[in-house]
């Protein structure tokens, strides 16, 4: 591979790895999804390496499994591992139960309100990721070992110790250019990863599961959780829709400015009150630059008045980083939603507008 890998080549090799290797759990899909999200939120120069904290990946894996450990219809809790024993989703389910007992509904709330509980589980999950998906991700399970084209995994193994993790700073180092490649192909990789995830969950559970319903259950935004912020966000906006400035009436929606399907960020910095027409028209489209600029320009003090009563996090750094990553890696000409039926076109260099 050249010094600066071609993004499509990296994306194709990732897809080939997952297609040719047998998956006995959804762990590989979870950690790869987490890695893509991290790269989107931490844009780098095209030829730069990137150090990725494994504990950051642990947080993102928790975020991914959090909605998936609920009861699914009459089936119950979905199986996501063919092997016996306590699984990562089991750990997340325990965390979610503890959070709900404390009146918390999202993992971001848990991290902000119960840091000691979060820290204990975070390190244990990080060690599990090092021993399993991160060690196995670049290996197909065949007699011919795969080349470690994403990161150096020679120090990882099935019994990676805390001492070994300490020696490597609890981090993996992406090879030069890989972070940018994963960010640029995120729009292609994420739907494929979710499709495989749905197929794996269907295979691992004994009963027949409807794919469209299952996809929405596994990856849909937690609308009921963020809806609790609607009254405070509407007050902050003077009772007007963030996008069209029309009066908000009954049925105010809480919208993720950066779409949930692109970056799963529930921080208040990424949330606004919108009327149903704008929210439904915007859907999963990237918003016009001015919408993101205005969302980021809201003072932290004002946002804390919204967040504090529910112990909700702001996540300004994450939302800012994701804005730079999403707009910086999307190709020029990408449609940007300004309002119902109205779109702008992304221009080269627009992502730099969000850099601090």
Instruction: Please give the structure tokens belonging to residue 173.
Output: 């180092």
Count Cα neighbours of 222 within 13 Å in the Cβ-side half-sphere: 21
β-bridge partners, 345: 335
Q: Helix count (H) and strand count (E) of the chain?
A: 17, 8
Q: What is the pLDDT of residues 55-70, one digit of tens each?
A: 999 999 999 999 999 9
> Residue 219 in contact with residue 201, Cβ under 8 Å?
no
> Residue 282 in contact with residue 295, Cβ under 8 Å?
no
CA 168/CA 344 separation, integer angstroms: 45
pLDDT at position 143: 44
Instruction: Please give the structure tokens belonging to residue 62.
Output: 């928790």
pLDDT at position 158: 93
Using CB atoms within 10 Å of the CB of residue 261, give its burial: 0 to 12 exposed, 13 to 18 middle, 19+ buried. middle
pLDDT at position 221: 67
Alpha helix positions (H), 132-273: 133-136, 162-167, 178-184, 186-204, 211-219, 223-226, 230-236
Instruction: Please give the structure tokens belonging to residue 43.
Output: 């844009």
DSSP 47-93: T--EEEEHHHHHHHHHHHHGGGGSEETTTEEPP-BSS-S--HHHHHH
pLDDT at position 1: 43
Q: What is the pLDDT of residues 172-201, one digit of tens each?
A: 999 999 999 999 999 889 999 999 999 999
Q: What is the pLDDT of residues 88-137, one digit of tens each?
A: 999 999 999 999 998 988 898 898 888 988 898 999 999 999 999 999 88
Instruction: Please give the structure tokens belonging to residue 22.
Output: 């047998």
Residues in the chain with pLDDT values less than 70: 1-2, 21, 140-146, 221-223, 354-356
User: Which residue from 128, 112, 156, 122 is spatially nearest to 25, judged by alpha carbons?
Assistant: 128
| Angle in degrees, CA 102, 122, 80, rounded to 5 | 90
CA 278/CA 334 separation, integer angstroms: 19
CA 281, 73, 99, 194 torsion-angle sign:
negative
Using CB atoms within 10 Å of the CB of residue 134, give its burial: 0 to 12 exposed, 13 to 18 middle, 19+ buried. buried
First vs last Cα of the chain: how many Å apart?
33
The torsion angles phi and psi of 235, rounded to 5 degrees, stand at -60, -45
Instruction: Please give the structure tokens belonging to residue 15.
Output: 């897809």
CA 41/CA 65 separation, integer angstroms: 20
CA 212, 7, 317, 275 torsion-angle sign:
negative
CA 154/CA 132 separation, integer angstroms: 13
CA 25 remoteness from chain centre: 19
Q: Enumerate the domain spans of the chain.
A: 7-219, 223-354
């Amino acid at each position: 591979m050249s010094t600066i890998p071609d993004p499509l080549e990296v994306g194709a090799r990732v897809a080939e790895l997952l297609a040719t290797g047998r998956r006995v759990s959804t762990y590989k899909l979870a950690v790869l999804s987490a890695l893509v999200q991290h790269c989107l939120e931490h844009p780098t120069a095209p030829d730069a390496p990137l150090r990725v904290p494994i504990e950051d990946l642990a947080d993102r894996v928790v975020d991914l499994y959090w909605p998936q450990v609920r009861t699914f219809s009459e089936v119950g809790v979905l199986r996501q591992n063919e092997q016996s024993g306590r699984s990562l989703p089991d750990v997340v389910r325990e965390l979610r139960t503890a959070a709900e007992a404390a009146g918390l509904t999202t993992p971001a709330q848990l991290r902000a309100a119960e840091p000691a509980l979060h820290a204990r589980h975070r390190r244990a999950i990080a060690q599990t990721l090092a021993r399993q998906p991160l060690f196995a991700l670049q290996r197909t399970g065949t007699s011919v070992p795969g080349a470690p084209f994403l990161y150096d995994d020679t120090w990882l193994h099935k019994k990676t110790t805390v001492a070994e993790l300490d020696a490597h700073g609890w981090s993996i180092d992406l090879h030069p250019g890989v972070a940018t490649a994963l960010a640029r192909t995120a729009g292609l990789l994420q739907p494929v990863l979710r499709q495989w995830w749905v197929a794996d969950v269907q295979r691992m559970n004994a009963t027949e599961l409807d794919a469209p319903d299952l996809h929405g259950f596994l990856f849909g935004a937690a609308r009921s959780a963020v809806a609790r912020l609607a009254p405070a966000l509407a007050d902050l906006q003077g009772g007007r829709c963030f996008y069209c400035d029309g009066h908000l009436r009954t049925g105010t929606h809480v919208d993720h400015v950066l779409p949930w399907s692109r970056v799963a960020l529930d921080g208040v910095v990424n949330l606004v009150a919108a009327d149903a027409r704008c929210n439904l028209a915007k859907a999963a489209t990237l918003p016009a630059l001015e919408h993101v600029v205005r969302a980021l320009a809201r003072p932290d003090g004002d946002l804390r008045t919204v967040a504090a009563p529910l112990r909700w996090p702001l996540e300004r750094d994450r939302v800012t980083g994701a804005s730079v990553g999403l707009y910086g890696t999307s190709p020029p000409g990408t449609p940007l939603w300004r309002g119902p039926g109205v779109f702008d076109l992304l221009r080269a260099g627009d992502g730099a507008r969000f850099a601090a």
